[in-house]
Amino acid sequence: MKEFENERIIDFKSPEDKTKMEQALDKVKSGLGKEYSLIIGGKKVKTDDVFKSMNPSNKDEVVGVISKGTEKEALEAIDIATETFKTWKFVPFEKRAEYLFKAAEIIRQRRYELDAILVYEVGKNWMEADGDVAEAIDFLEFYAREAIEYGKGQPLTKIPTEKSGLWYIPLGVGVVIPPWNFPMSILCGMTSAAFVSGNTVILKPSSDSPVTGAKFMEILEEVGLPDGVVNFLPGPGSKVGDTLVGSPKTRFIAFTGSKEVGLHIVELAGKTAPGQIWIKRVVAEMGGKDCIVVDNEANINNAAIGVNASAFGYQGQKCSACSRAIVVSDIYDEFLDKLVKETETLSIGPAKDNYPIGPVINEWATDSILNYIEIGKKEGRLLCGGIPQSCGMGRHSQDGCATTDNGYYIKPTIIADVDRNARIAQEEIFGPVLAVIKARDFDDALEIANCTQYGLTGAVYTKNREKIDKAKRVFHCGNLYINRKCTGALVGVHPFGGFNMSGTDSKAGGKDYLLLFTQAKAISERI
C-alpha cells in the first residue's frame, strides 16, 4: 500500500477532458427525472410521498424524484442498523478498509458522470464539481489507511506482571446528516469514517442534493458493503431528522450545516431518552464568518486574487468562504481598486456551460442573500453587484442579478466601509457577498478578525515574519492560512474544523478524525 496522495483535480483545459465532460453532461441529462427510493437494510423502499430535486441553473428541470421518509421508516432504519451492528462491529478494521479502497476506485471510474450530477443538482461549475468528487476519493483513501492504523491499537507502557493493550472499538448506530454544498465529498467523508470504524449508519442527505446521495449508495452496493451497514433515508429534518437524533438507540450524530440546525441537534441529542444508556456524541461543523486580513506589507495583487477566489468561488456557498476582508488603512483604497477589477472579470451563467459564477442553490437562498445585500447597502458602500445584470437567463429582480424564471443567479457583491459589528460583518450570509472592513493597523485587524461568534477559517496576507508569527498565536480559528486563500482545504494536508459556533473542531481529513467515531477499551491480563 503506497503512501496517501491527494487526487489530482481536472482543470478541463485539455480537449480530451473537455470532451469527456461534455459527453458526461449529455448522458446525465438524458437520465434526469429518475425516481430514487429509500434504502433500508439493503431493500429499496418507495413511499407515497415524494419530493423533487431541482436544477438551480434551471428551476424547471427535475434532477430526480425521491421518496420521502417518515418517522415510520426512520424507526425501521434504526432497528435494522442496530441489528446489523451486532455483527459489523466485529469485522476487522482491515476488512472494513477494503470497502473504502474499492469505493475510491469506482468513483475514479465514474468521475465525469459524478461531476456532471453535481453540475445539475447543486450548480457547481466543472472544476468545483471535480474538486468535490476528488475530495471524496481522498477521504476514502485517507480514512482506509487510518483505519488500518487504528486497528493496531495504541502502544502502552509495559510492566513485568501484566500484558496490556488499548483497542479502538465502534460506538454503535449513528446518524449522518451532510450538507448540499459538498454533497459528494462531505457525505462520503462522514459516512465512510463512521462505518470504517465499525459503526452502522442512517444517512439522511440534504433535500437539495439527494440524487448525489443515491449515487453514493449505488457505489456502496457495487463494492458489496453488507446490507444494513449504511441505510439511506431522505426526508424532512423536522420529522425524520428529529426522530433519528432523538432515538435512545442512536449513539452518535455527525452533522455539517447551519449553526441553527447544529445547535438544535446538540440540544436534542443532549436530552436522555427513556431507555438510553449512553451519552450521545455529536460531531458538528456549523459554518463561519471567515475573513482574510490584508496587511500594509502584503503583496496586494496576490491578496486581491486570493480574496476574490475565496469570496466568490462556488458563489460563496462554502463554510470556509471569505465573507469579510479586513484591510489595513494604509493600502485600503489601492486594495479595493484591485479587488473590484478582479471581481468584475467574473462572468455568470449556467453551471453546465462552466461559467465562473453559477447559481445559488434555491429560491430561499436567493431571497435571503438579496435581503442581506439590501441590509449591506445601508451598512456600507456598494462597490459592485447589487444591481441588475443581464445574464440572458430570464427575469431579474430590481436589486442583484437574481432570476426566478430559469435559475437563481446573484452577481458577486462587494460592500466597503463596513463596521466590524454590522450585521453583514457578523451574520453568515452563505452567498456571493463580501464585506470589506478598514483596520487601523495589523493588531486592530486581528482584533476584528476575532470579533465574531465563529472560528472556522481565516487567512493573512503579509510579508512581515513577526506579524505572521503573531497571527499564528492570536488569530482564533480552526484553519489559518498564510499568504493564500482561505478555501480549498486538502485531505491530509489541512485537517478541517473550527472553534466556537463553527462546531466541534472535528478536523475532518486528519489523523484524529476516526477517534470521534470510536471509543477506547483498555485490557490488561495478569501474566
How many residues are recorded in the chain?
Answer: 527
What is the C-alpha separation between 27 and 113, in angstroms, rounded? 8
Torsion of CA 484, 458, 261, 266, to 10 degrees: 120
User: Residue 148, exposed/middle/buried by CB under 10 A (0-12, 13-18, 19+)?
Assistant: middle
Cross-strand partners of 457: 479
Residue whose cell numbers read 473504502: 100
C-alpha to C-alpha distance for 65 and 44, rounded to whole angstroms: 14
CA angle 117, 119, 124 (to 5 degrees): 135
CB 243 within 8 A of CB 74: yes
* Helix%, strand%, coil% for the chain, nearest 5: 40, 20, 40
The cell numbers describing 48, all together, are: 407515497
Contact (CB, 8 A) for 130 and 121: no
Within 89-184, residue ranges assigned H as helices are: 93-109, 111-122, 126-150
- 415 - beta bridge partners? 382, 435
Please give the positions annotated as active site.
285, 319
CA distances (Å), origin 317, targets 55, 74, 323, 438, 501 = 16, 29, 10, 24, 18
How many other β-carbons are positioned within 10 Å of the β-carbon of residue 226?
Answer: 16
Q: How far apart are the first and last CA of the chain?
A: 36
State how far the Cα of 118 lies from the Cα of 81, in Å rounded to an integer. Answer: 29
CA dist., res. 341 & res. 345, Å (int):
7
The residues with which 50 forms a beta bridge, in sequence order, are 67
Sign for the CA dihedral angle at 301, 306, 312, 313 comes to positive
Report the SS3 class of residue 395: coil
Going by C-beta distance under 8 Å and a sequence separation of 6 or more, which residues neighbour residue 508? Answer: 139, 186, 189, 190, 193, 285, 491, 495, 496, 497
| Alpha-carbon gap, residue 9 to 345, rounded angstroms | 23
d(CA 12, CA 358): 17
